[in-house]
Amino acid sequence: MTYTRGIMEPIKVGLLGFGTVGSGTFNVLHRNQEEISRRAGRGIKITQIAVRNPVKARQVLIDLPDTVELTSDFTAVVDNPSLEIIAEMIGGTDIARELVLRAIYSGKHIVTANKALLAIHGTEIFEAARSKGVIVAFEAAVAGGIPIIKVLRESLTANRIQYIAGIINGTTNFILSEMCERGLDFATALADAQRLGYAEADPAFDIEGIDAAHKATIMAAIAFGVPVQFERAYVEGITQLHAIDIRYAEELGYRIKLLGIVRRTTRGIELRVHPTLIPVKRLIANVEGAMNAVLVYGDAVGATLYYGQGAGAEPTASAVIADLVDITRLCMVNPSNRVPHLAFQPDRLESTPILPIDEVTSSYYLRLRVANQIGVLSDITRILATLGVSIDTLLQKKSEFFDEGRVSETIIILITRETLEKNINLVISRIEALSTVRSSVTRLRMEALN
């Protein structure tokens, strides 16, 4: 039997927001429209763009075709009956949520790059979309240009996924690389990331680990078939990270990365973001700048690694447009035959608990300053032994604190074997109570990823 496809009108898209991602999407779609429509089977046209200041946007977009209308009326775009897709490129969880829900209830498909929105309001949004039979596509929400959502939802569908560990925030990886390789200070590196369009509108979301936790939350839901539960994620950013620990980690053969980790265990799911020491010989430890990388371990496939630009206008546009093409191809398909939003059938999501950080198992890097006197080390090792925590490496470094020409304090670095976080908390509080210990204990988690 031969199938023929009639000539179809282009599918019309309304764009909400015209910043880094919105303008990148417009430009790439415009530049590659011929190639994209050959793939989609139909043209894809942005016909209306909502911006707060159309005059300013018009000045930037000198080549904007007359067929594209700029308006400051966001609801008029959402309500426009000639549009089939609304691409939400505003960000945040207030106006974006209102507009996305309104668009869904008026029967429009959604493309969004907004991980905050989905990590926090995903359950409500996916339920609304299901009730209206529309698609909510969000490839750009996790790891920018890397098609990790497609991988987790479709390509690895045969697998029971065991864990995902990812460098999923370009801004913080860029900052860590610039500090490490070029010796830049934190503030300068952050300002560069903002200038290059990597950072969130409020960069605290990046540096405090919140953005990575939004993304990890979405990946956990898709990987394990559980609802999005951002409120249960453990989140620690890079603002408390000391340059000295980056240096000591390197000396010990490790690199520090802000990792998003989701792992299936017999007791529940780990969902956490924090600076992590990774052996420098792992590929993922060598991902620098704004690049992202996501390591996914499936029981059948084993370890797989996905690498690419995690932020920026055109890499993100690449993911947004992939979603536009998917919707163009799939909008005529019966909704029950589409890939479910969170990969698992909505009535088959499970309520596996997300483990509190106290119940997470890890190995640890501990750094502290102690008096340079006999017996200190044995006091510390006794505490560890009493609590059943094994030491893998113990290193003593010269401290810069001098007492009448003699070194009076020493820096101790300990690397432990795996133990529960609540055990290491006890270890730390007992060590800090020793009279010979002269500083609080700096603790960093470690992942072997082997």
Binding residues for NADPH: 115
Residue nearer to ligand HSE on the CB measure, 48 or 171: 171
Q: At what angle do helices 376-386 and 421-432 cross, to 10 degrees?
A: 150
Residue nearer to ligand NDP on the CB measure, 200 or 208: 200
Residues 48-67 that bind ligand NDP (CB under 6 A): 51-53
Residue nearer to ligand HSE on the CB measure, 84 or 206: 206
**Binding residue for ligand NDP, selected from 8, 60, 201, 244, defined by CB under 6 A:** 201
Applying CB under 6 A, does 144 fall inside the site for ligand HSE? yes
Applying CB under 6 A, does 77 fall inside the site for ligand NDP? no
Shortest Å, Cβ 361 to ligand NDP? 32
Applying CB under 6 A, does 21 fall inside the site for ligand NDP? yes
Applying CB under 6 A, does 199 fall inside the site for ligand HSE? yes
Q: How many residues bind ligand HSE (CB under 6 A)?
A: 11
Applying CB under 6 A, does 197 fall inside the site for ligand HSE? no
Give which of 282, 262, 294, 271 is closest to 161, Cα–Cα: 262
Residue nearer to ligand HSE on the CB measure, 128 or 238: 238
Applying CB under 6 A, does 203 fall inside the site for ligand NDP? no
What is the spatial distance between Cα 269 and Cα 266, in angstroms, rounded to a whole number? 8
Applying CB under 6 A, does 18 fall inside the site for ligand HSE? no
Applying CB under 6 A, does 23 fall inside the site for ligand HSE? no
Applying CB under 6 A, does 169 fall inside the site for ligand HSE? yes
What is the spatial distance between Cα 416 and Cα 427, in angstroms, rounded to a whole number? 11
Backbone phi and psi for residue 131, each to the nearest 5 degrees, phi listed first: -65, -25
> Please, which residues bridge with residue 391 across strands?
416
Give which of 50, 56, 85 is closest to 70, Cα–Cα: 50
Applying CB under 6 A, does 206 fall inside the site for ligand HSE? yes
Give which of 121, 22, 117 is closest to 74, Cα–Cα: 22
**Binding residue for ligand HSE, selected from 170, 209, 225, 289, defined by CB under 6 A:** 170
Applying CB under 6 A, does 144 fall inside the site for ligand NDP? yes
One of 45, 108, 215, 257 is an active-site residue; which one? 215
What, of ligand HSE, ligand NDP, none, does residue 114 touch, CB below 5 to 8 Å by kind? ligand NDP
Residue nearer to ligand HSE on the CB measure, 188 or 390: 188
Piece of the chain touching ligand NDP by CB under 6 A; list 15-23, 335-343, 374-382, 434-442? 15-23
Q: Which residues are annotated as a binding site for L-homoserine?
A: 200
**Binding residue for ligand HSE, selected from 103, 311, 322, 437, defined by CB under 6 A:** 311
CA 55, 56, 61, 67 torsion-angle sign = negative
Applying CB under 6 A, does 85 fall inside the site for ligand NDP? no
Residue nearer to ligand NDP on the CB measure, 198 or 365: 198
φ/ψ region of 151 (left if φ > 0, alpha if ψ in -120 to 50, else beta) reads: alpha
Residue nearer to ligand HSE on the CB measure, 122 or 170: 170
Q: Is residue 132 annotated as a catalytic residue, yes or no?
A: no
Piece of the chain touching ligand HSE by CB under 6 A; list 78-86, 176-184, 192-200, 236-244? 192-200
Shortest Å, Cβ 91 to ligand NDP? 3
What is the spatial distance between Cα 244 and Cα 246, in angstroms, rounded to a whole number? 5
Q: Under the rule (CB under 6 A), what is the footprint of ligand NDP?
A: 17-22, 51-53, 89-91, 95, 113-114, 140, 144, 197-198, 200-201, 311-312, 316
Q: Under the rule (CB under 6 A), what is the footprint of ligand HSE?
A: 144, 169-171, 198-200, 206, 211, 310-311
Residues acting as catalytic residues: 215
